[in-house]
Amino acid sequence: MHSVMDKPIIQISDLDFWYGESQALFGVNVAIGPHRTTALIGPSGCGKSTLLRCLNRMNELIEQTRMTGQITMNGHDINAPDVDVIELRKRVGMVFQKSNPFPKSIFENVAYGLRIQGLKGAELEGRVERSLRKSALWDEAKDRLQESALQLSGGQQQRLCIARTIAVEPEVVLMDEPCSALDPTATSKIEELIQDLKQFYTIVIVTHNMQQAARCSDYTAFFYLGKLIEFDETTKIFTNPGHKQTEDYITGRFG
């Protein structure tokens, strides 16, 4: 495998996951390389979003879930009893499927994560501006920072959510189908953004859109019915898949 995979930032080993009695993930092993974009693809219900939410322990908010196996970040087990889940979530940010800005001003949305860390004044404003610039929203939003975030268009809202997430400077950014509710123009803007953000962050993106996975990611993991079928460099998956199921899926024969 590629050399960066020798030192993955996140290592998922033998992960099983249950919602109540039904098992959603079966023995998943994935290594996520630093400053790379990893795409998780597969038909609906294959467990890719579940896997994503395991990485910042958001699944804990759902009742009656349990998991076995291990997820390590920089070599440290994120489910160990001494891990502060709040600290983990600061390091592993998340962008949701449906844009979910707070019903506050644009500025306050980006500032929220920083405020709870106790930032104030000029430093706070600087960080907000930097995040908005990084997420390519600054030019559109700089004159209306005090307006409600709900006034923005769908695509702008999603970029605001990305700005909000990267404002706290996480190491990893999880994206759960960030473009599924957006039109093609807004989608291509977010995809460009993902390319730009790669230099600063490690990105894991769940997508239903094959072309999006092909365009944005360095690595692709294909899931089917809770099992990892294939995980490799994106170019290899899309040009020369190793499994029949992967080929069938990416050529649109099912899913």
Partner 1 sequence: MNDVAQLPESGVRDLPDAASIYVNVPDPVQSTERPIRPLTRRKRRPLEWLVEKAIFLVSLSAILLIFLIFAFVGKEALPVILGKTDNARLRKPVAAEEIPNISETQLAEYLGLKPGELKNYDADTLKLLVELKGQELAQIVDEDSRVNTTSWRMMFQPHQWADYDKPQYIWQPVSEVPKYNLVPLVIGSLKATLMALLFSVPLGVGAAIYVSQLASPRWREIIKPVIELLSGIPSVVLGFFALIVMATVLQNVFGYQSRLNTFVAGIALGLAVIPIIFTIAEDALTSVPKSYSQAALSLGASPGQAAWQVVLPAALPGVFAACVLGFGRAIGETMIVLMASGNASIVSGSILDSCRTMTATIAAELAEVVFGGNHYRILFVIGALLFLVTFVSNVIGDIVVHRLKGRLEGRT
Interface positions with partner 1 (CB under 8 A): 56, 58, 61, 63, 86-87, 89-90, 93-94, 96, 98, 100-104, 112-113, 116-117, 147-151, 161, 164-165, 168, 188, 191-192, 210-211, 214-215, 235, 238-240, 247, 250-253
Nearest approach, Cβ of 14 to partner 1 (angstroms)?
25
| Residue 29 vs 239, nearer CB to partner 1 | 239
Side chain identity at residue 98, one-letter code: K
| Residue 226 vs 241, nearer CB to partner 1 | 241
Q: In what order do the strands lie in the sheet containing 172-176?
A: 76-77, 65-73, 10-19, 22-32, 227-233, 219-224, 37-41, 202-206, 172-176, 92-95
Nearest approach, Cβ of 227 to partner 1 (angstroms)?
23
Nearest approach, Cβ of 51 to partner 1 (angstroms)?
16
Q: Rounded to an integer, what distance in angstroms lies between the CA atom of residue 172 and that of residue 230?
A: 22
Burial class (CB in 10 A: 0-12, 13-18, 19+), 130: middle
How many Cα atoms within 13 Å fall on the side-chain side of residue 91? 15
234: tokens are 């994106």
Nearest approach, Cβ of 15 to partner 1 (angstroms)?
20
90: tokens are 């600061």
| Residue 100 vs 180, nearer CB to partner 1 | 100
| Residue 231 vs 238, nearer CB to partner 1 | 238
